[in-house]
Amino acid sequence: MGQSTRTVKVAADRSAEIRDVLQAAGFEFSAAPYAFFRAKGEGLTATFYEKGKLVLQGTDIDRWAERLTGEGVPEGAHQVAMRKHPEPAPECWIGIDEAGKGDYFGPLVVVAAAVKRHQVPLLSELGATDSKKLSDKRVMALARELKAVCTYSQVVIGPERYNPLYAKIGNLNRLLGWGHATALEGALERESSATWALSDQFASDPNVILSQRKELGRTIRLSQWTKAESDPAVAVASIIARAEFLWQLRSLGNIAGQTLPKGAGGPVLAAAREIVAREGHSVLPRIAKLHFRTTEQL
């Protein structure tokens, strides 16, 4: 039977009780980030996190789950996604995601993040998930924690670079494909043990990324899934990319003389009109993606 991972919620005040059970069974204890303890024994590693999550890893999970908690352990989103990994399951893989492609103001950011299988319980404990499910404040705070534990590479295409590139290429998906391939190459340069990569699927044609892979990117398998943010590595990339986008957007607001809203709807058009009225049209190429319909509306 192969290794598997499960997470169950357990009241934090039961840490001493569960520690006693594991200690009596001969488990060895060590420290772990954000955890009361990590215990290793035959067929099981148990990590009890301070927020009340008991993560069980090994080949004997069901028996120990019942013994320690009195109930079975439901699979979390990360575990469900990881069941789709190729065989043999990669010990280290790279997730790729982007931020800013639907925002008139601000850059396009692509991040490739490397995750090792033993890090997944910690990432789950920290709350790594699709950045669209998190507040901006939480994204900024979580990105700092994830950067401390994961290797990553990012490609930031600010408006002054984005606009001439888009004018030359004429297709957002091709530009995204170049960004994904470039970020992947950077991540592989930093983490050579990665054997597989997963990208959120943004185009129906997989060759949009595959055809633009560079030397290292062509040495590993690359998969593309819809809603790939359920995978922990893509979730990490999603959060780091969103945090960088938000930071860059805030910086560009200094050029515009006001806070720049996200998205491309009515509030964005209203803000753009204020900026043009005050600063003139010449400021737009420095802060906005000009191919958006918003530019025509102005």
Would you say the pTM of this structure is higher than 0.75?
A: yes
Q: Are residues 118 and 228 in the same domain?
A: yes
Domain of 126, in residue numbers: 82-250
Q: Are residues 24 and 89 in the same domain?
A: no
Q: Are residues 141 and 196 in the same domain?
A: yes
Per-residue pLDDT of the chain (298 residues; tens, 9 = 90+): 456 788 888 888 888 888 988 988 889 999 999 999 999 988 889 999 998 888 888 877 777 887 787 654 445 667 778 888 998 889 999 999 999 999 999 999 999 999 999 898 888 888 888 888 889 999 999 999 999 999 999 999 999 999 999 999 889 999 999 999 999 999 999 999 999 999 988 888 989 999 999 999 999 999 999 889 999 999 999 999 999 999 999 999 999 999 999 998 899 999 999 999 999 999 999 999 999 999 999 8
**What's the full length of the chain, in residues?**
298
**Looking at the domain assignment, is residue 278 inside a domain?**
no
Segment 28-87, tens digit of pLDDT:
999 999 999 999 988 889 999 998 888 888 877 777 887 787 654 445 667 778 888 998
CA distance 272 to 294: 8
**Looking at the domain assignment, is residue 14 inside a domain?**
yes
Looking at 250, 277, 293, the residue that finishes a domain is 250
Q: Are residues 224 and 125 in the same domain?
A: yes
**Looking at the domain assignment, is residue 106 inside a domain?**
yes
Q: What are phi and psi of 102, to 5 degrees?
A: -105, 10
CATH number at residue 140: 3.30.420.10
**Looking at the domain assignment, is residue 147 inside a domain?**
yes
Q: Are strands 44-49 and 53-58 parallel, antiparallel or unpaired?
A: antiparallel
Closest CA to 44 of 24, 19, 62: 62
